[in-house]
Amino acid sequence: MKLPWFKRMGIFFIPASVVGWLIAISSCFYAIYVFIDIDSRSHSVSDTLINFAFNFMIIAAAYTLIAYLASHSRQR
């Protein structure tokens, strides 16, 4: 893989190519979809936020793992 998909800026991974941007945008849209789905079934704000926090951590961990494996810092 010659072109890295992500570049590391501190503890964050910034998309550096079209594929990286597609992954970042799709993970944002998926997080929004999950939030709306949880919100439609919950009865209070705390129900929504408690259930969304766990799902958001899973989405963020998956994004970070993909970005780490496809970043320039990994290719040494």
> Is residue 6 a contact partner of residue 71, using CB atoms and an 8 Å limit?
yes
Cα–Cα distance measured from residue 69 to residue 21, given in angstroms and rounded to the nearest whole number: 15
pLDDT at position 14 is 92
- The structure's pTM equals 0.85
* Mean pLDDT of successive 10-residue stretches along the chain, which has 76 residues: 80 92 96 96 93 96 93 64
pLDDT at position 66 is 93
